[in-house]
Amino acid sequence: MDTIKAQQWLIGIFSALLIVILIIVAGVEMKKSRSYKPEIEIDKMTKKCITCHEKKGIAVSQIDAWKESQHAVMGIGCYECHEAKKGDFDAFTCSESDILVARHPTPKDCARCHKQEVTEFSESKHAHQFWLLKNADRAVFENPISTRHGCEQCHAIGNIWPDGSVGECDVCHAKHSFSKAVARQPETCGECHMGPDHPHIEIYNESKHGNIFKAKGKNWDMSYSTKDHEKIPIEVPVCTTCHMDGNDTQPMTHNVSARLAWESQMTWSFRTVWNESKLGNWQTKRERMESTCKNCHAPDFVEMYLLTADLVNLQYNEIRREFVRWTKKLTNEGIIDRLKADGKFYSNPVLNGFDELPEHNMYYAWHHEGRRYRHGAEMMGADYTQWHGIWEIQEDLVELITWAAEHGDAEAKKWVDSNHPSKFATFALYDVPGNEWNIGVKTNTTPFLYNNYPDYWERIYQNVEAAYQHGLLSEKQWNLWLKRYKNKDYYLGLKFKADSTWNYYKERNDYDFKKMKEQVIDLILPGKPFYKK
């Protein structure tokens, strides 16, 4: 009996040891698999480049990046991209050899393997030559050296090369890894799409999309492919999800303009006509974007959200119209002067005058606050629509009119002297009953306008109908707006009663203010101040 028990104990001990050994072996193998590097086969020319670079310590980190790339796995080495012919604009002979090398691989070189991607990019707004629009902000107000590593560093994405190709693929796909995962990181887009005039990365980070990505994105494989129309395998969108990646309804594309329905970075918001012959009209582009949103969101939410964002774009135009009217008026009256030298004007007060306050206000209301206002509405960045957007635009307009009054304009003086609340709505308004998030009782009202203008919604109706008839809203959007308009009491929460809840929180609010008065407002310190007026 003792012998049997001893055997059982030995078997148990050896079994436990075997399990431990297997766990250790599995761990080692997993570690190996994680650190596995594929065998790289390279030709003699590439081997010569790498050997020389590593020996002399020149750009070795770029070689390491290349070794991690799909190019390396596929046997695509240095020379396939850096091959040059005599007479090429960037050809030079390497000092350590007789090899003719191209210093600047261009999209034309990439197109040998990635023709579709290069073609799509070249037809996008990324390839648009912003240098065609060299206004006074670059020519006069700023100085040339400041734009070298300023504007030009980002706008090089649309660089025209001497070989006739356009763009720089490595703006998004880092040298020399050309990683899809790096290109998909929101921060990669945020290298350029950030700051006071186009804070897209900041807007994204503020949004629920950005917050979920920050919480979970580190665990996602961002090197996935959507080329075969597969479902997007991440929980929330990054920049490329909406603007480039494919899904089961549409192919992936390197044309970032294919899903944009507005030109909302321009001085005016207008429906895009960019490359209509290939991309279709703005409604087609909007359908592409909606199909992406509807991967995660209900159709009624998507359509209402985008309709509201569209009305924000249209509202911007009416505010912009006021800035144009005032700057033209003040210029015609001689109150604003234009920059002039040698008989030539160097500024346009409507676009880019900078020597007088109204021109400065107008520029900011477009180039900074106006973009933030529109883009925040389009990308779920509430604070950028509100405090960084419309609030600052209104401040610009008030400051402009006040300046005009101080400089003798009679209309402006009358405006400044008025104490009527409607003075801040000198332009036509757009609106929509309620919002896409909820039905709010006693909250979805603007007390002064609603209570003092019985025809408020009739005026709004006329404006929205005009936008629809002018082709700025689709028939589907017009019908969606009409549905809200005809049932506005429901969507504004006016037909519901929640008085007990309302009164409960009002009592709490009143108590807060009572205590604030007792603790702070009524407190007068006995010690004398040290400065006597």
pLDDT given for residue 228 in this prediction: 64
Contact 162, 100 (CB under 8 A): no
Residue 380, Cβ density class (10 Å: 0-12 exposed, 13-18 middle, ≥19 buried)? middle
> Considering only CA atoms, which of 150, 221, 214 is closest in space to residue 182?
221
Q: What is the spatial distance between Cα 462 and Cα 458, in angstroms, rounded to a whole number?
A: 6
Quote the tokens at residue 205: 């980070």
Average pLDDT in the 492-500 region? Answer: 90
pLDDT at 511 over 50: yes
pLDDT tens, residue by residue, 112-149? 999 999 999 999 999 987 666 655 555 667 778 888 88
Q: What is the spatial distance between Cα 140 and Cα 353, in angstroms, rounded to a whole number?
A: 10
- Residue 345 β-bridge partners: 340
Average pLDDT in the 447-465 region? Answer: 92
Average pLDDT in the 14-43 region? Answer: 60
Average pLDDT in the 408-423 region? Answer: 96
The ranges assigned to domains in the chain are: 52-104, 108-145+152-293, 428-521
Strand 270-271 relative to strand 100-102: parallel, antiparallel, unpaired?
unpaired
Strand 344-345 relative to strand 340-341: parallel, antiparallel, unpaired?
antiparallel
Question: Which residues fall within 8 angstroms of residue 251, CB to CB, at 6 or more apart?
Answer: 227, 229
Helix axes 299-332, 475-486, angle to 10 degrees: 100
Phi/psi at 371 (5° precision): -70, -45
pLDDT tens, residue by residue, 255-293? 999 999 999 999 999 999 999 999 999 999 999 999 999
Quote the tokens at residue 444: 């979805």
176 upstream amide cis, omega within 30 of 0:
yes
pLDDT given for residue 33 in this prediction: 46
pLDDT at 375 over 50: yes
Q: What is the spatial distance between Cα 95 and Cα 86, in angstroms, rounded to a whole number?
A: 16
Average pLDDT in the 20-25 region? Answer: 60
Q: Which of 18-22, 73-77, 432-436 has the lowest mean pLDDT?
A: 18-22
**Tokens 């974007």, residue located:** 289
Q: Which of 4-18, 120-134, 296-310 has the largest mean confidence?
A: 296-310
DSSP per-residue string spanning 169-192: GGGTS-TTT--HHHHHSHHHHTTT
Q: Which of 126-130, 220-224, 433-437 has the lowest mean pLDDT?
A: 126-130
Identify the band that residue 416 occupies on the pLDDT scale cut at 50, 70 and 90. very high
